[in-house]
C-alpha cells in the first residue's frame, strides 16, 4: 500500500457529518421534482415512495453506523468500510463505482443549480429574446466550485456548507409559512390521495436520488476526530430529520396547490412560499450547491483511498491520485480529476438521465453495506463487536429491497450496473490475485451455514440410507505426489453426485516438524485440486502407521455433514508391495460398514472416449448395483463427456438368457444411460479365466470396474488383484449391502 506523504491533522466532529448528509438529502430533487411527484401520484402515493425509499436508507444508515463502530474508519468513507469488510478486491470494485457516482453527482447538483436561475432565463427570453443554455451558469459554477475545493480543501468546504445550510432552512421556513395558491376539490391530502399507480416506479426513479444523500457525511471519515461516534450520530440524525422534512413538504404541497399547478411548474414551491420568487430559487441554489459541495468533498477522498490501496494497474497512477497536500493531506490531484469528470457531465448531461445512472450505483453501494452487516451477524465472528448494533433482519431487508428496486426502477440500467460491477471485479481480481475477494467476509457466513446444515442433517437421519444412497468417499494415500489417479477418481465421484475427502498420510509421530510438513503438504494439495478444478476437501493426517491412520479415518465425520460411507485405496499395478497393507486393513474398514474401493493405477493415459467397463460375476449380487451406480456417477464428470458405460456379465451357459433379461430390466427401470447393445453376457469357456476375458474385452477401456469380497481375500491375497496387465485403470469394488437403483 502507498503511504500518505504527510500525516493527517483531523478534527471535525459530528456536525459536518450531519450537515453534509442533510444538505444532500434536502437537495435538488426536493425543490424540482416533489411538486411533480405529488401532482402525479397524490399525497399518499408520494408518502409510499418516501417510506419505500427510507426502507433502503434507514437499514443502510444503521448498517454504516454498526460497521463504523466495529473498526477504526479511516479516509475513504463507504469505500473504506466495504473494502475492509468484503476484502480489497470487491471493495475496490464497489469503490470505483461509488467514486464515479459521487463525481457524477456533483454534475447532477450543478445542473440542478442552474435551474435556480430559471426566472432570470425567462426574463432574458421575454425582454431581449435571448434564449441562453443552462450551461452559461452551470459551467462557470462547476469551475468555481472546483477551484475552491482544490485550493482551499475540506475546511473551506465545511465553512461554506454552514452558510448554504442556513439559506436552505430559511427558504424552507418561508415555504411552510406560505399560503395556498389553489382551492377546490383537487386540493388537499385526501383529494386525489393515490392516483396513476401505473406511474409509480417512473416517479420513484425520478425522486429516489433525493434519498441517496444520507451517506454523504461518511466520506469525511478520514477528517473526523472520532468516526465511530460521529458517523452513527450524524448519519442516523440526518436520515430521520430528512424523512420528517419530506413528509411535511409533500403535505404542504398537497394542501396548497392543485394537481395541474403542481405538474405545470417545477418551481411551484416559489409560488407558495413567502417571498418565494426570491427565497425558493435561492434555497434551490443553496441546496444544490451544498449537495455539490458535499459530493465534491467526498468523491476525491474516495479516489485517494482507492489509490492508497494500489487499486489501479499503474503504480504512477496510484501515486498521482494518492498524493496529498498540506498538513491535512488534502487530495488535490484526486480533486482535479473529479472536477474534470463532473465538468464533462455538466456540459453533456441531462438531470433525469444522470439521476438514473447514479441511483443504480448508489443502490449497489447501499445494498453492499446492508449485506456486510447481515453477513457479519450471520457469521457470528467473535471479532465483530460494534458498540452500535443493528438487527440482522433489518440489514437483510435493506439488501433485498435494494436489489428489487434496482430492477423496478430500470431493468436496463440495473443490468448495465451489474455487468460493469462484475467486469470490474474480474479485472481487479486478475491484477491483484494475491488479495482476498469475497472470501474475506463469506468465510464466517459459510462456516455458520455449514455448522447449521451439519447439525440439521444429523438430527434428520430418519430415512433408509440404502434407499437414498450417495457416495461420501474418503481416500487415503501416501503417494499423493507420485501418482494422481486416486485424486482424479475422487474428483469424478464428488463432482456432482457425491462428496470426496482426500487425506494424505504422513507416517510418523506428531511433532512440530511433522505438523509443519503437514501444512506444506496441505497447501500443495489445495493447489493441485485447484488446477483440476476439483470439488474435493483435502486434508492430512499424521500417524505412526497405516493401520492406526485407517482406525482414525474411519471414525472421522465427513465435512459434508453426511457420514462417510466409502473408503478408497490406491496401489501401483506394477508394484504390488503397497497392496498387502491395504488387504491387511480391509477387515478394519468393514467393521465400520464402509464400501471399499481399491484402485489399481497404471502408467497408461486414460482414454475417456473408450468408456467405463463394468464386469459382473454371478456371485457378485451385492456389488453389481454399486458398480453400476459408480459408473453412472463417474460418467457425470466433464472428463467423461464422450464416454459411455458398457456392462459385461460372466455367467454359466444355462443362465445367460436370464442374466441378460435381468440386466436389461435393471437398466430400463433404473433409467440408466446404457443402451442394450452395451450389455454383453459372456460365457466362461474351458481354459479361459475371468481375467482372460477382462484383458481381452477391456483392453482399451478408460476405466474397468470389477467386484470383490474382502472375506474371500484371505486365501488369494494379492493374487486376486494381479493379472490384469493388459488393461489400464482397474477399480475393485466391495459393497457393504445392496444399493437400490430406483
CATH 3.40.50.620 residue spans of the chain:
466-599
Q: Give the pLDDT mean for 64-74.
A: 71
- Residue 216, pLDDT > 50, answer yes
Q: For position 457, what pLDDT does the model report?
A: 65
Q: How far is CA 298 from CA 71, 76, 104, 634, in A?
A: 20, 8, 12, 56
The answer on pLDDT for 460 being more than 70 is no
CB atoms within 10 A of CB 63: 27
Q: Which range, of 60-69, 136-145, 152-161, 528-537, averages the lowest pLDDT? A: 152-161
Which stretches of 157-284 are assigned E, i.e. beta strand? none
Indicate the pLDDT class of residue 543, thresholds 50, 70 and 90. Answer: very high
| pLDDT tens readout for residues 494-538 | 888 888 999 999 999 999 999 999 999 999 998 888 887 778 889
In angstroms, the Cα distances linking 252 to 37, 80, 174, 272, 558 are 13, 40, 12, 9, 65
- What stretch of H or E contains 661? helix 656-669
Q: What are phi and psi of 273, to 5 degrees?
A: -70, 155
Q: Average pLDDT, stretch 584-612?
A: 92
Residue 698 is predicted with a pLDDT of: 95
Cα–Cα distance, 490 to 485 (Å, whole number): 9
For residue 623, what is its C-alpha cell? 456389488
| 23-44 mean pLDDT | 84
The Cα 486–Cα 472 span in angstroms is: 15
Strands 730-734, 595-601: pairing is: antiparallel
Q: Give me the pLDDT at residue 5, please.
A: 43
The span from the CA of 471 to the CA of 489, in Å, is 12
Q: Is a pLDDT exceeding 80 seen at residue 423?
A: yes
Of 51-55, 80-84, 214-218, 599-603, where does mean pLDDT reach its minimum? 214-218
pLDDT at position 8 is 45
Contact between 62 and 145 (Cβ < 8 Å)? no
Which range in 68-77, 383-392, 403-412 is most confidently predicted, on average pLDDT?
403-412
Tell me: pLDDT of 159 over 70.
no
Q: Minimal CA–CA distance to 81: which of 228, 281, 258?
A: 228
Average confidence score pLDDT of the chain: 82
> C-alpha cell of 211?
434519498
CA distance 476 to 731: 15
pLDDT of residue 301: 84
CB burial of residue 538 (10 Å; 0-12, 13-18, 19+): buried
Q: Is the pTM of this model over 0.75?
A: no
CA distance 249 to 144: 31
Q: Where in the chain is the domain with CATH 3.40.50.12370?
A: 602-732
CA distance 230 to 15: 8
pLDDT value at position 702?
Answer: 94
d(CA 143, CA 138) in angstroms, rounded, equals: 9
Q: Do the Cβ atoms of 547 and 473 come closer than 8 Å? A: no
Structural contact between residues 10 and 209, judged by C-beta atoms closer than 8 angstroms: no
Q: How far from the centroid of its chain's Cα atoms is residue 532's Cα?
A: 24
Locate 397 and state its grid cell. 431487508
The secondary structure of residue 72, as a DSSP letter, is -
Neighbour count for residue 11 (Cβ, 10 Å): 10
Residue 399 predicted with pLDDT over 70: yes
Of 193, 191, 214, 200, which is closest to residue 24 (Cα–Cα)?
Answer: 214
The mean per-residue pLDDT over the stretch 349-362 comes to: 68
% of the chain with per-residue pLDDT over 70 = 88
The predicted pLDDT at position 144 comes to 84
Closest by Cα among 264, 356, 386, 280 to 31: 280
Please give the grid coordinates belonging to residue 351: 438531470
How many CB atoms are located within 10 Å of the residue 386 CB? Answer: 17
Nearest to 105 by CA among 357, 334, 333: 357
The residue behind cell 459408473 is: 631
Instruction: Judge contact between 77 and 220, C-beta under 8 A.
Output: yes
Question: What pLDDT, on the 0 to 100 scale, is given for residue 511?
Answer: 93
Determine the Cα–Cα distance for residues 656 and 684; give it in Å rounded to an integer: 11
466-599 has which fold?
Answer: Rossmann fold (3.40.50)
Looking at the predicted structure, is the pLDDT value of residue 7 above 60? Answer: no
State yes or no: pLDDT of 158 exceeds 80: no
User: Is the pLDDT at 3 greater than 60, yes or no?
Assistant: no
Predicted local distance difference test score (pLDDT) of residue 567: 95
Task: Kindly report the three-state secondary structure assignment for every residue of 553-591.
Answer: HCCCCCCCCCCCCEEEEEEECCECHHHHHHHHCHHHHHC
| DSSP label of 718 | G
Checking if the pLDDT of 2 tops 50, the result is no
Q: Of 583, 578, 407, 605, whose CA–CA distance to 507 is shortest?
A: 578
Tens of pLDDT along 565-579? Answer: 999 999 998 888 789
87, 435 Cβ separation under 8 angstroms: yes
Contact 477, 505 (CB under 8 A): yes
Q: Report CA 661 to chain centroid distance, whole Å.
A: 52
For the domain spanning 602-732, the CATH number is: 3.40.50.12370
Lowest mean pLDDT among 17-31, 138-152, 340-354: 340-354
CB atoms < 10 A from the CB of 136, how many? 12
Q: In the 8-state DSSP scheme, what is residue 330?
A: B
Laid out side by side, the sheet with 679-683 consists of 536-543, 499-507, 472-477, 566-572, 595-601, 730-734, 703-707, 612-617, 645-651, 679-683
Give the pLDDT confidence score for residue 731 in this predicted structure: 97
Convert the pLDDT of each residue in 198-207 to its tens digit. 788 878 877 8
463 vs 168: CA distance, rounded Å:
69
| Intervals of CATH 1.20.1740.10 along the chain | 14-439
Q: Alpha carbon 534 to chain centroid distance?
A: 21
Least-confidence region, from 453-457, 545-549, 685-689, 719-723: 453-457
Task: Provide the pLDDT for residue 352.
Answer: 63
Q: What is the pLDDT of residue 251?
A: 93
325-334, 454-463, 709-718: least confident range: 454-463
Q: Which of 299, 310, 295, 300 is nearest to 330 (CA)?
A: 300
| Window from 151-165, 314-328, 692-706 with minimum mean pLDDT | 151-165
Q: Does 241 score more than 60 pLDDT?
A: yes
Q: In the chain, how long is the greatest CA-to-CA distance?
A: 118
355 with 109: CB under 8 angstroms?
A: no
Query: What b-and-e string marks burial along 87-99, b requiring 16 or more CB atoms within 10 Å of the CB?
Result: bbbbbbbbbbbbb
pLDDT of residue 464: 47
506 exposure class (CB count in 10 Å sphere: 0-12, 13-18, 19+): middle
The superfamily CATH assigns to domain 14-439 is: Amino acid/polyamine transporter I (1.20.1740.10)
Average pLDDT over residues 242-250: 92
3-state secondary structure of 432: coil
Amino acid at each position: 500500500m502507498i503511504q500518505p506523504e504527510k500525516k493527517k491533522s483531523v478534527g471535525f466532529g459530528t456536525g459536518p457529518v450531519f450537515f453534509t448528509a442533510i444538505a444532500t438529502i434536502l437537495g435538488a430533487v426536493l425543490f424540482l421534482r416533489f411538486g411533480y411527484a405529488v401532482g402525479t401520484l397524490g399525497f399518499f402515493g408520494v408518502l409510499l415512495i418516501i417510506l419505500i425509499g427510507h426502507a433502503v436508507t434507514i437499514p443502510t444508515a444503521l448498517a454504516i453506523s454498526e460497521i463504523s463502530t466495529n473498526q477504526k474508519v479511516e479516509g475513504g468513507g463507504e469505500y473504506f468500510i466495504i473494502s475492509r469488510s468484503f476484502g480489497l478486491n470487491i471493495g475496490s470494485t464497489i469503490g470505483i463505482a461509488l467514486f464515479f457516482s459521487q463525481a457524477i453527482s456533483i454534475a447532477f447538483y450543478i445542473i440542478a443549480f442552474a435551474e435556480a436561475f430559471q426566472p432570470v432565463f425567462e426574463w432574458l427570453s421575454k425582454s431581449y429574446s435571448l434564449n441562453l443554455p443552462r450551461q452559461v451558469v452551470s459551467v462557470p459554477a462547476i469551475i468555481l466550485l472546483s477551484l475552491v475545493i482544490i485550493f482551499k480543501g475540506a475546511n473551506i468546504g465545511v465553512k461554506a456548507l454552514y452558510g448554504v445550510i442556513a439559506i436552505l432552512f430559511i427558504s424552507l421556513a418561508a415555504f411552510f409559512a406560505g399560503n395556498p395558491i389553489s382551492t377546490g376539490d383537487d386540493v388537499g391530502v385526501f383529494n386525489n390521495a393515490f392516483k396513476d399507480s401505473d406511474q409509480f416506479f417512473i416517479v420513484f426513479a425520478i425522486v429516489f436520488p433525493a434519498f441517496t444523500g444520507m451517506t454523504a457525511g461518511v466520506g469525511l471519515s478520514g477528517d473526523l476526530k472520532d468516526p465511530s461516534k460521529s458517523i452513527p450520530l450524524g448519519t442516523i440524525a440526518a436520515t430521520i430529520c430528512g424523512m420528517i422534512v419530506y413528509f411535511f413538504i409533500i403535505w404542504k404541497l398537497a394542501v396548497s396547490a392543485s394537481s395541474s399547478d403542481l405538474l405545470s411548474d417545477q418551481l411551484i414551491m416559489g409560488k407558495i412560499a413567502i417571498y418565494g420568487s426570491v427565497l425558493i430559487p435561492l434555497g434551490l441554489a443553496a441546496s444544490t450547491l451544498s449537495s455539490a459541495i458535499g459530493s465534491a468533498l467526498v468523491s476525491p477522498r474516495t479516489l485517494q483511498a482507492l489509490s492508497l490501496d494500489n487499486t489501479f494497474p499503474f503504480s504512477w497512477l496510484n501515486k498521482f491520485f494518492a498524493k496529498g497536500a498540506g498538513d491535512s493531506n488534502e487530495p488535490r490531484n484526486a480533486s482535479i480529476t473529479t472536477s474534470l469528470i463532473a465538468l464533462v457531465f455538466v456540459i453533456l448531461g441531462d438531470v433525469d438521465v444522470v439521476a438514473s445512472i447514479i441511483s443504480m450505483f448508489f443502490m449497489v453501494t447501499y445494498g453492499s453495506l446492508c449485506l456486510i452487516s447481515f453477513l457479519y451477524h450471520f457469521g457470528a465472528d467473535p471479532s465483530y463487536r460494534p458498540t452500535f448494533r443493528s438487527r440482522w433482519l433489518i440489514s437483510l431487508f435493506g439488501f433485498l429491497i435494494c436489489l428489487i428496486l434496482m430492477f423496478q426502477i430500470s431493468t436496463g440500467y440495473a443490468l448495465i450496473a451489474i455487468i460493469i460491477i462484475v467486469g470490474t471485479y474480474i479485472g481487479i481480481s486478475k491484477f491483484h490475485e494475491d488479495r482476498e475477494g469475497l472470501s474475506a467476509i463469506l468465510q464466517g457466513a459459510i462456516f455458520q451455514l455449514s455448522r447449521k446444515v451439519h447439525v440439521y442433517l444429523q438430527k434428520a437421519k430418519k430415512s433408509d440410507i440404502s434407499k437414498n444412497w450417495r457416495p461420501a468417499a474418503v481416500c487415503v494415500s501416501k503417494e499423493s505426489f507420485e501418482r494422481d489417479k486416486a485424486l482424479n477418481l475422487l474428483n469424478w465421484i464428488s463432482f456432482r453426485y457425491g462428496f470426496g475427502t482426500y487425506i494424505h498420510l504422513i507416517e510418523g509421530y506428531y511433532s512440530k516438524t511433522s505438523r509443519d510438513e503437514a501444512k506444506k503438504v496441505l497447501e500443495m494439495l489445495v493447489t493441485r485440486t485447484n488446477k483440476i478444478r476439483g470439488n474435493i476437501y483435502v486434508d492430512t493426517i499424521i500417524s505412526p502407521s497405516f493401520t492406526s491412520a485407517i482406525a482414525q479415518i474411519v471414525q472421522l465425520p465427513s465435512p459434508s455433514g453426511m457420514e462417510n460411507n466409502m473408503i478408497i485405496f490406491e496401489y501401483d499395478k506394477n508394484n504390488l508391495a503397497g497392496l498387502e497393507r491395504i488387504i491387511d486393513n480391509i477387515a478394519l474398514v468393514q467393521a465400520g460398514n464402509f464400501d471399499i474401493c481399491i484402485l489399481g493405477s497404471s502408467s497408461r493415459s486414460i482414454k475417456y472416449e473408450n468408456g467405463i467397463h463394468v464386469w459382473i460375476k454371478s456371485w457378485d449380487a451385492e456389488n453389481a448395483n454399486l458398480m453400476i451406480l459408480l459408473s453412472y456417477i463417474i460418467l457425470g464428470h466433464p472428463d467423461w463427456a464422450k464416454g459411455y458405460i458398457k456392462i459385461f456379465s460372466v455367467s454359466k451357459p444355462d443362465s445367460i438368457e436370464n442374466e441378460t433379461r435381468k440386466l436389461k430390466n435393471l437398466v430400463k427401470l433404473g433409467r440408466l444411460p446404457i443402451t442394450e447393445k452395451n450389455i454383453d453376457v459372456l460365457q466362461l469357456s474351458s481354459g479361459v479365466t475371468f481375467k482372460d476375458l477382462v484383458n481381452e474385452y477391456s483392453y482399451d477401456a478408460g476405466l474397468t470396474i470389477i467386484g470383490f469380497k474382502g472375506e474371500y481375500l484371505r486365501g488369494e491375497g494379492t493374487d486376486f488383484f494381479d493379472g490384469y496387465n493388459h488393461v489400464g485403470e482397474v477399480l475393485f469394488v466391495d459393497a457393504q449391502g445392496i444399493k437400490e437403483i430406483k
